[in-house]
Amino acid sequence: MSDRLIIRDGDADTAVIAEYEATRREAVRRGLTAGGAVLGAAMIPALLGARNAFAQAGGDAQIVSSAIQLENTAVAAYDAALKSGKLDSATTKVVRIIRRQEQEHANALTSALKGLGGTAPKGPNQALLKPLSSVKSQKDIAMFAVELETMAVHAYYEAHGKLKDAKLLQAGASIMANEGQHLVVLRQALSRNPFPNAFETGQK
């Protein structure tokens, strides 16, 4: 996947390019290029696209709809991880719990969207899942999951600046907090600092 894809897809304005560059640098800082070059390069444009879609969503219903697709994508990603045959038994057990919780998020958000008169999007964002086809190890999967959960945390963080409904804000915070908890065990699996950020915004 070309680094230029995201720019070709949208308006080639400097803000988009600058954000893409910032995201790429973040990924590099997190160590994606060390031992995960292919994974990292393939993932970033898709992750950024999803993150932008979420951040740029307008009203509450649009934000919730984007969140549902992100949660559907997480469910599909963890399903793929469970079917990969690359997880050991202890990790499989943990990933099953995470997968179930992502499904719970999707279900609750779907109910909320119905309450707002909207219709939930079906299925995952396939572009986000593409890198999973090239994972070679449990470590690769954990690295992918860290990126996915970090982007989810950032998406909910952005949503907190836009959501109007009090209950949605609270539900969003309780989901964001749970994604942060998933990050703790995923970072532990990679022998990283489990909670490096006092302000967990998904930006670092």
Partner 1 sequence: MEVDQFLRDDRSRRAFFSTAGVSLAGGSAVLLAACGGNGGGSTSTSGGGQSTGKSGSGDVAILNSALDLEHMAVAAYTAGAPLLKGATLKAAKQILMQEQEHAQGLMQAIKQMGGTPNKAKPASAYNFPKLSNAMGVLKFANNIENTAIAAYIDAIPKLSDPKLRQTAAAITTDEAEHVTFLLQGLGMKPGFPDAFVTGKK
CA atoms within 13 A of residue 109's CA, in its CB half-sphere:
29
The reply to whether 43 sits near partner 1 by the rule CB under 8 A is no
Per CB under 8 A, 165 contacts partner 1: yes
Site size toward partner 1 (CB under 8 A) is: 46
Residue 162 touching partner 1 (CB under 8 A): yes
Binding residues among 51-110 for partner 1 as defined by CB under 8 A: 94, 97-98, 100-102, 104-105, 108
b/e sequence 166-202, b meaning 16+ C-beta within 10 Å: eebeebbeebbebbbebbebbbebbebeeeeeeebeb
CA distance 204 to 49: 18
What is d(CA 154, CA 140) in angstroms, rounded to the nearest whole number?
21
Among 43, 47, 68, 183, interactor with partner 1 by CB under 8 A: 183
> Minimum distance from CB of 50 to partner 1 (Å)?
19
For partner 1, the closer CB: 6 or 81: 81
Query: 188: which residues sit within 8 A by CB, 6+ positions away?
Result: 194
Q: Does 173 bind partner 1 (CB under 8 A)?
A: yes
CB of 96 to partner 1, least distance (A): 11
Based on the shown chain and the rule CB under 8 A, indicate whether residue 34 belongs to the binding site for partner 1. no
Rounded to an integer, what distance in angstroms lies between the CA atom of residue 14 and that of residue 49? 16
The residues of the shown chain that bind partner 1, judged by CB under 8 A, are 94, 97-98, 100-102, 104-105, 108, 153, 156-158, 160-167, 169-185, 193-195, 197-201
